[in-house]
A and B are shown apart, each in its own frame.
Chain A
Amino acid sequence: MNRRHALRHIALISGGLALIPSCDFGKEDILTAYDKLQITPSLKKLLASISDTIIPAGEIKGALDLEVHDFILVMVNDCFNEENQKKFSQGLQSFSSYIKESSGKAFDQLTTKEKEAMVLETAQLKGDDSEEGRTKESIAYFVNTAKRFTIQGYMASEYIQTEVVPYSLIPGEYNGAVLISDLQKPRVNG
């Protein structure tokens, strides 16, 4: 095995960091772990940053600590049809230019508050039949998809389900009339 093959092998088993040259993006390589998406390392980094804005670290870990962006890409790559994969990829690719145009900065240069505002704003974008409208629609589709999978990937993670809100395979006897006022759950501070 030559060095290049060895590197690729290691990258594949380490989860998607293999870089295969591609002409689609000229300068940048495409990540092969998500073979149905056109994801470059910088797009993946951007997605990570967006997921971390959606669920940040605080007293307990956030989405970035749990690499939820990898879960998002796996779900879109494996469980979406081609049309929705395309829409997601287009939205992700257009996201940074939209941010630049409306704020004058790259997403990573924004403050936390500004980032949050941009995620909320882009999730609400409405599309129409123009090219710009279609771009806006794909951005909103991407942001809402990313948010949905960030929530799912974060809440259904090993960390949350073992250390924060333990998941029980055995839920106990059924009670069909529990007074909500009697429920006392310790508050978890994020």
Chain B
Amino acid sequence: MANLNIKSKQDRTYQAIVIGSGISGAWAAKEFCDLGVKTLMLERGRNVEHIKDYPTTNMLPYEFPHRGQIPEDIKKENPVISRCYAFREDAMHFFVKDTEHPYVQEKPFDWIRGYQVGGKSLLWARQVQRWSDFDFEGPARDGFAVDWPIRYKDIAPWYSHVEKFAGVSGNRDGIPHLPDGEFLPGYELNVVEKHFAEQLKKHYGNDRHMISARCAHINGNLDFYAQQGRAKCQNRNLCQRGCPFGGYFSSNSSTIPWALKTGNLTLRSDSVVHSIIYDEEKGKATGVRIIDRLTKEMEEFYADVIFVNAAALNTNAILLNSTSNRFPNGLGNDNGLLGKYVAFHNYRARVSGEYEGHSEYTTSGGRPTSGYFPRFRNVYKQETDFLRGYAAGFSASRGAGADTSGVGMDLKNSLLNPDQYGPWRVGSHMMGETIPKESNYVALDPNLKDEWGMPLLKISVDYDDNDEKMVKDYIEQMTEMFTKAGFTHIRSSDSKQAPGLDIHEMGGVRMGKDPKTSLLNAHHQLHAVPNVYVTDGASMTSTATQNPSLTYMAFAARAAHHAVAESKK
């Protein structure tokens, strides 16, 4: 019997355990496997295999009974996920429905989740802009949160490392606060987007830019990506269904199959992580307790090093639930700050308009990205009555429409031969930096539990005065820029959407130099438990304005190499 137990324990022992198979977890696993580390990757949801498990990927519009729309009874039962732009008939099977995994909203928070192998990497918007020191130095310069323990030079080589492998298309724009990277050929801006970029240059000098957004799509170096079984992006714009070409980067198409090929990866799906096991005698973490999603049985796995990449808020939940005599308030939580200083991106406002110029042109074909307007506010020095700033998405579009005013043969012929060109439509949405605050936090509900006996996460996150001022400034400034560019019928809106719908929630396990005021050190190790690393959104000290996934990928790769180097000491 004793022998059996030893054997069983050996069978459940690995060199590294990675919790989560989303964009950051799978990067950590891939690096470990490339370095010869026997790795167990745990995923709470079902398995999703590249291509095989993309049931809608090649479906034609008429094959969807509601042509993409979500039926009313599903919307009614699941109001939160129904507010997500990508929750449509073709991709609804990749999103968590409200009814499946409840949580407690102390303040309104739209928590958008993807519980499956690959996580939200199947569903992301694939925008990958680098941070610069204007972002890393933000908290120290402006006196909020704590100073980042790292700078651009620490992460730049890892940006390059992940960009080359993932495949990032973009142009070398030479903007100091949006550093260039390892780019495949970029995508073209259309004639009106170029017009807007030129107008910005004319009216604002070199302060305001409109560029083709860098995106994680393959647009060159095809032989290299063929080694991953991936091919050139076909401009289908059906990414949320999973791409049969592997044209965009996801864990499913890239890092997971790559790691599996090394023979070093064990992928265990349907494993809801309960907690990390802390050994008080050894003074370190020794493994992970999981509850099998289907059998509901508890099981333990062991490793020398543990990476927590469960997605920002769930990483917080796991650490909070990992209690011991040494850590009664959650693993590594000596200062009581675990779960606090949560932040996100402010996506509330939009500005749209029309352009009568370039009326002889339209566009054809497709492209996987659009325009990007990097932050210009408070970059070099504080110049407004709010801290930090915002980036914005921008696009112009035009297509042939049909006159639908009639009925009968007139209507039919008009529909079949669309030739009505209205003005160009232009639109922009803000992506504002929010300031992490102690009062924006997540915690475990003391009473409510889910189907697996796990405490429900309680979320208490809200906007503040800085965010309100930023919304106002974005609307004013973008309206002014649209006006100067000759756009007309300019309209602005503030959706007042709840935090969370931006799907950029961050923090709670922030990095910092001082164990008294942060949870993680410069290498993403818990100050108090150095063999536990957090390299997903939970580790973010501040949010900047860039879409964060690229930074998580670089963090994960960098930390995995650090962990391996440490183990060899």
Contact = CB atoms under 8 A, between A and B. Distances in A.
Interface of A: 53-56, 58, 62, 74-75, 78-81, 112, 116, 119-120, 147, 151-152, 154-158, 161, 164-165, 167, 169-181, 183, 185, 187-190
B71 A170 contact: no
Contacts of B71: 78-79
B292 to A, nearest CB: 35
Contacts of A169: 58, 60, 236, 238
Contacts of A152: 67
Contacts of B193: 176
Contacts of B236: 169-171
Interface in B48-74: 58, 60-62, 65-67, 69-73
Kindly list the 4 A-B residue pairs having the minimum CB-CB distance in the complex, ordered from nearest. Answer: A176-B190, A190-B412, A174-B367, A177-B191
A158 B61 CA distance: 8
B412 A78 contact: no
Given A55-B408, A119-B407, A171-B366, 17 more contacts: A54-B411, A55-B411, A56-B408, A58-B412, A74-B66, A79-B66, A116-B407, A147-B407, A152-B67, A156-B62, A172-B235, A175-B363, A177-B191, A178-B361, A180-B362, A180-B421, A188-B417
Nearest to B367: A174
Nearest to A118: B407
A51 to B, nearest CB: 10
A133 to B, nearest CB: 24
A174 B217 CA distance: 14
Nearest to A186: B417
Nearest to B57: A169
For B67, B363, B412, B421, the residue with the greatest tally of chain A CB atoms inside 10 Å of its CB is B412
Interface of B is mostly: loop
A104 to B, nearest CB: 21
Nearest to A143: B407
A56 B360 CA distance: 34
Contacts of B413: 188-190
Given A161-B62, A172-B366, A154 B415 contact: yes
Contacts of B411: 54-55, 151
Contact of A170 (B189, B235, B404, B415): B235
B453 interface: no
B364 interface: yes
A167 B72 contact: no
29 contacts: A54-B407, A55-B411, A55-B412, A62-B412, A78-B73, A79-B71, A81-B72, A116-B407, A116-B408, A155-B415, A158-B62, A169-B58, A171-B236, A172-B235, A174-B187, A174-B365, A174-B366, A175-B188, A175-B365, A176-B363, A177-B190, A177-B361, A178-B362, A179-B361, A188-B413, A188-B417, A189-B413, A190-B412, A190-B415
A171 B365 contact: yes
A161 B60 contact: yes
A185 B402 CA distance: 14
A66 to B, nearest CB: 10
Q: Which of the four size classes fits the interface of chain B?
A: 35 or more
A187 B417 CA distance: 6
A169 B58 CA distance: 8
Given A174-B235, A190-B409, A156 B188 contact: no
B360 A179 contact: yes
A170 B190 CA distance: 19
Given A79-B66, A164-B416, A173 B408 contact: no
Contact of A176 (B73, B189, B417): B189
A189 B238 CA distance: 31
Contacts of B65: 74, 78
A114 B62 CA distance: 32
Contact of A190 (B66, B187, B189, B416): B416
A163 to B, nearest CB: 12
A24 B60 CA distance: 39
A117 to B, nearest CB: 9
A151 B188 contact: no
A79 B189 CA distance: 36
A53 B407 CA distance: 7
Contacts of A74: 65-66
Interface string B66-108: 1101111100000000000000000000000000000000000
A176 B191 contact: yes
Contacts of B238: 169
Contacts of B188: 174-176
Interface string B413-453: 10111000100000000000000000000000000000000
Nearest to B189: A176
B234 interface: yes
A184 to B, nearest CB: 12
Given A53-B408, A180-B421, A173 B235 contact: yes
A165 B411 CA distance: 16
